[in-house]
């Protein structure tokens, strides 16, 4: 037995044959794509302005951070740290929108789920708001709030709020009446039913809505930064594109998707799984 087969058997035992196969197969297109990209640099099929070399994209990180004195300065948002400033400002906006939008969306969603009259009036507004996609709000938001963080925050809030509202409402409605009446019979107040029955019962639906809201919100945020922003990754790629600095655009696009993928994969998906395991008794995915 050669060392190679021994090694491969050890790896297969460690990670599992099927998972290993999937991983390697999934890696192939990426490798091919990167090889093609590199070959383009070597043979210049396309102009570097159209498709920049990989090394240039990598160096753009340092080029953008070149005026940054130290790590602490980057955290403080020093003027020289262009890349980290833009990344931080995008992430900061997401966090701010989450902190404001999530409680609002859940609150109104529970209210609408419990009360038919409230939902009768809020639901059509929500349907309309969702139909006017987040992007279509950008011009009006720019007129109202000017170019800057208020506009981007408004766009993102608008997207997050309605998605969460709808999902919470659906989740609350799916809670069986029996459970609510059970708590009421035992002398539970309105607040008790919300805290003990509606909120846990709707939790899986809320988290799924939150994941959706994150996906749509992130897209809307990038678009809003492009048109009505003065900082952030969307702003960065838009400005770089107008100056034909393609390597910065590629870097920005890759960062945008990596940040989204990482948040989704390592934060929201585990959260969703855990919630469904913990509370997933009534809700079925639609």
Partner 1 sequence: MTTADAAPVRRKSLRRTLSDSRAVQLIILTIGVFILWGIISSIIERPDRYLPSPLTTLISSADLLEKGVLVSFYSDTLTRLVIGSIVGLLMGIPFGLILGLNRTIADMFYPLMNFFQSVSGIAIFPIIVIWFGNSNTTVMIVILYTSFFPIAFNVLSGVRAVPMRYISAARTLGATRFQIIRDVLLPGAMPSVAIGSRLSIGFAWRAVIAGEMLAGQAGLGNMIFAGQELDNTAQIILGMALIGFTWILLDHFLLRPLESDTIERWGLVTR
Q: Which residues contribute to the site for partner 1 (CB under 8 A)?
A: 21-22, 25-30, 33, 49-50, 117, 120-121, 124-125, 127-129, 131-140, 142-144, 218-219, 222-223, 226-227, 234, 237-238, 240-241, 244, 246, 249-250, 252-253, 256-257, 260-261, 264
Q: Is 286 helix (H, G, I), strand (E, B) or coil?
A: coil
Instruction: Bin 38: left if φ > 0, else alpha if -120 < ψ < 50, else beta.
Output: alpha
Two structure tokens written together for 191: 């607040």
* Closest separation in Å from C-beta 49 to partner 1: 7
* Closest separation in Å from C-beta 244 to partner 1: 7
* Closest separation in Å from C-beta 282 to partner 1: 19
In angstroms, the first-to-last Cα distance of the chain is 53
Eight-state DSSP code of residue 65? T
CA 281 distance to own-chain centroid: 26
How many C-alpha atoms does 54 have within 13 Å on its Cβ side?
9
Quote the longest CA-to-CA distance of the chain: 78
* Closest separation in Å from C-beta 242 to partner 1: 8
Which of residues 31 and 75 has its CB atom nearest to partner 1 in the complex? 31
Which residues have CB under 8 Å from 127's CB, separation 6+?
A: none
* Closest separation in Å from C-beta 94 to partner 1: 14
DSSP assignment of 182-207, as one string? HHHHTT--HHHIIIIIIHHHHHHHHH
* Closest separation in Å from C-beta 186 to partner 1: 25
Which of residues 93 and 219 has its CB atom nearest to partner 1 in the complex? 219
**Cβ–Cβ under 8 Å, residues 239 and 233:** no
Which of residues 11 and 24 has its CB atom nearest to partner 1 in the complex? 24
Which of residues 16 and 124 has its CB atom nearest to partner 1 in the complex? 124
* Closest separation in Å from C-beta 11 to partner 1: 18
Which of residues 45 and 128 has its CB atom nearest to partner 1 in the complex? 128
Which of residues 34 and 75 has its CB atom nearest to partner 1 in the complex? 34
Which of residues 64 and 203 has its CB atom nearest to partner 1 in the complex? 64
CA 150 distance to own-chain centroid: 19
Which of residues 74 and 122 has its CB atom nearest to partner 1 in the complex? 122
* Closest separation in Å from C-beta 116 to partner 1: 8
DSSP assignment of 135-178, as one string? GGGHHHHHHHH-SSHHHHHHHHHHHHHHHHHHHHHHHHHHS-HH
Eight-state DSSP code of residue 133? -
**Cβ–Cβ under 8 Å, residues 147 and 231:** no
């Amino acid at each position: 037995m050669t060392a190679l087969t021994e090694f491969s058997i050890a790896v297969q035992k460690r990670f599992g044959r099927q998972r290993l196969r999937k991983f390697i197969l999934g890696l192939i297109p990426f490798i091919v794509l990167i090889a093609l990209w590199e070959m383009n640099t070597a043979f210049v099929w396309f102009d570097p302005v159209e498709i920049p070399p990989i090394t240039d994209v990598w160096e753009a990180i340092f080029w953008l951070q070149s005026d940054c004195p130290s790590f602490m300065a980057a955290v403080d948002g020093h003027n020289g740290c262009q890349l980290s400033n833009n990344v931080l400002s995008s992430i900061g906006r997401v966090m701010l929108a989450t902190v404001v939008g999530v409680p609002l969306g859940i609150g109104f969603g529970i209210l609408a789920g419990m009360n038919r009259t409230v939902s009768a009036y809020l639901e059509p507004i929500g349907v309309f708001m969702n139909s006017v996609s987040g992007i279509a709000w950008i011009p009006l938001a720019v007129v109202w709030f000017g170019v800057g963080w208020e506009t981007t925050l408004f766009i993102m809030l608008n997207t997050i709020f309605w998605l969460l509202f709808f999902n919470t409402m659906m989740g609350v409605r799916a809670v069986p009446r029996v459970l609510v009446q059970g708590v009421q019979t035992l002398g539970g107040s309105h607040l008790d039913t919300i805290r003990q029955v509606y909120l846990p019962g709707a939790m899986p639906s809320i988290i799924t809505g939150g994941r959706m809201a994150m996906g749509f919100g992130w897209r809307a945020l990038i678009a809003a930064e492009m048109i009505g922003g003065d900082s952030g990754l969307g702003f960065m790629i838009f400005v770089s594109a107008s100056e034909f600095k393609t390597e910065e655009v590629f870097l920005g696009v890759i960062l945008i998707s990596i940040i989204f993928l990482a948040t989704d994969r390592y934060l929201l998906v585990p959260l969703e799984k855990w919630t469904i395991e913990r509370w997933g008794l009534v809700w079925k995915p639609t």
